[in-house]
Structure 1
Amino acid sequence: MTTLAGRPNTALLVIDVQKGVLEGAPARDTVIANIGALLARARAEGVPVVWVQHSDEDLVKGSEAWEYVPELAPAGAEPLVHKVHGDAFEGTGLEGLLAERGAGRLVLTGAQTDMCIRATAHGAFTRGYDVTLVADAHTTEDLTAHGAPPPEQVIAHTNLYWSWQSAPGRHAEVAPTAEIVF
């Protein structure tokens, strides 16, 4: 249903699964295991996988906090997109990589739910992609000290919120890891 002509394929996006981002995040190990399961399935089925890695003043490029968590790593020729904005499309070559792979549907995983996941989901949807948010494969840090709800509520709200998105010719959905079909 994507509005992107000639783009029938699905791609798995693994967003910001970095040490400094996932440190102390709720359900960290479960989220990493679910992303790992999706990676294994995508690779076995020949589904394109694209990795996204954020950098800023707290995630200095090349620092230990900036590195991917040790449980997950790109394989073979899986591309890596470096970004400095929440939306992985802004100022990056992500669109070109997805176009080369014929991807019109994206399956989103990673962190942070209320920042880069949400921004990239919206960025993809407004650009014409179908977007599936994997309900149990994203997480976020605790920002209650800044007035945010507890992380578990942020995750639950984002899953609820995304399940109600709609736009002409595009499809948004939320599904758990076990129900993802590439």
Structure 2
Amino acid sequence: MSGMWFVVGLPIVVLAGLALYTVLVMRQIGTPTRGGEIDLNERPNTALVVIDVQEDFTRNGGSNPFEPAYRDAALAVINRSVSSARSAGNEIVFIKHVFRNWLAIQIIRLVAKGVGTPGRKGLEIDPSIEVGEAPVFEKAIGDSFSSAAFEDWLETRKVGKLILTGLDSCHCVQLTAKGALARGYLVEIRDAATLTATPEKWSLLKEELGDSGAVIV
């Protein structure tokens, strides 16, 4: 009987462990990072941060795509923001999302046609966006501060204020905002230059972020 329980029960144990691991992985992807607090007196510069504006996400033909007019309007505002930042002499940086965790990749391939997974052409920045010579950093979870290279670049450029644009407002944008606020950055979110698949959720998050110190314009 005990041997039979072992044979029958082993898959249950494995599945339970896999389920727990899946929860932990998804929680990590959706949790803002923590880091040392910056000194704003030593960070006088401003950076425009464009998050995850990649073809896989902007032109996703899956079950919940962005309505083209909504998408194109936001991309146009992002381009104007990039142009304005260049004219003002502000820093500009692009963030790309690429899932790197093996389990996350399998889940995304199963439920979302593999968007954002390694090897896809759709990982490139949307062709409508004028990247120019701006640096591009990669992250594998929601908060852009999970990229050490991005955080080091902000320090090198003496950036203390971030202007956030991109997508999804309810995920990577708000997680990056929370990661920045936890470090003492000044944070501005340009609402018209962001995209979200869940606008009803974004309304609540905007209030939360505003209470935490972010400025949403």
Q: TM-score per shorter chain, which class?
A: 0.7 to 0.9
**Which structure has greater strand proportion?**
1
Q: Which has more radius of gyration?
A: 2
Deviation track 1:90-148 (CA, whole Å, cap 9, x = no partner) reads: 1431111111111100000001111111110000110110100111111123xxxxxxx
2:44 pairs with 1:13 = no
SS in 1 for 2:215: strand
How far the C-alpha of 1:3 sits from its partner, in A, is 4.1
Structure 1 residue ranges, 4+ long, deviating more than 6 angstroms after superposition: none
Q: Could you tell me which residue of structure 2 aligns to residue 174 of structure 1?
A: 216
The residue that corresponds to 2:201 in the other structure is: 154
Size of the aligned set, in residue pairs, is 159
Give the AA of the match of 1:6: E
Out of 18, 26, 47, the residue aligned to residue 90 of structure 2 is 47
Structure 2 runs not aligned, ≥5 long: 1-37, 60-64, 100-104, 106-113
What is the TM-score with the length of structure 2 in the denominator? 0.68
More divergent stretch after superposition (42-51 vs 61-70): 61-70
- Residue 66 of structure 2 aligns with which residue? 25
Distance 1:82 1:97 in 2: 13
Contact between 1:139 and 1:155, CA under 8 Å: does it hold in 2? no
Counterpart position of 2:125: 68
Q: Distance in 2 between matches of 1:70 and 1:91?
A: 23
Per-residue deviation at 1:44? Answer: 1.1
The partner residue of 1:112 within 147, 168, 171 is 168
* 3-state SS in 1 of match to 2:138: strand
Q: Pairwise CA RMSD of aligned residues?
A: 1.6
1:92 aligns with 2:148: yes
